[in-house]
Amino acid sequence: MRLGYTVRLAVCLFASAAMFFVVLPAIAHAVLLESSPSINTTVAGPSIPIKLRFNVRIDATRSRLTLVAPDASTQLLAISKDAPADILASQAQGLIPGEYRIRWQVLASDGHITRGEIPFKVTQP
């Protein structure tokens, strides 16, 4: 096991370069199993309940739900603290008809961060 300095240096250099070469950013972990509103659906406004269910326990305190309005303005949504461990729940109010997106970011209990988005359309009640 006593390798020469040259060998160790070469292996370390190559390993570092190869790491950068082959490793992509961390992989998403939490999987969105279902959501309300669902992806690309139409819901009646102006007030809509939001519910996202994941495959793992979520740290809701360190997760975020952001609503992107038709004019691209963003609004941070308050996350309910009473929801089950795998669910992020909130309520969006005062929505005018148009195309919206919910951007979500969750911290799973095992420390992995995942994000995604749900496009949906709002119509008149």
Binding site for other proteins (CB under 8 A): 1, 3-4, 6-7, 10-11, 13-15, 17-33, 39, 55-57, 59, 61-64, 85-86, 101, 105, 107-119
Q: What's the closest the beta carbon of residue 88 comes to other proteins, in angstroms?
A: 13
- Which of 33/47 has CB closer to other proteins? 33
DSSP string, the chain: ----HHHHHHHHHHHHHHHHHHPPSPPP---EEEEESPTT-EEE-S-EEEEEEESS-B-GGG-EEEEEPTTS-EEEEPPPSSS-TTEEEEEE-SPPSEEEEEEEEEEBTTS-EEEEEEEEEEE--
Least separation in angstroms between residue 83's CB and other proteins is 13
* Shortest separation between residue 51's beta carbon and other proteins, angstroms: 16
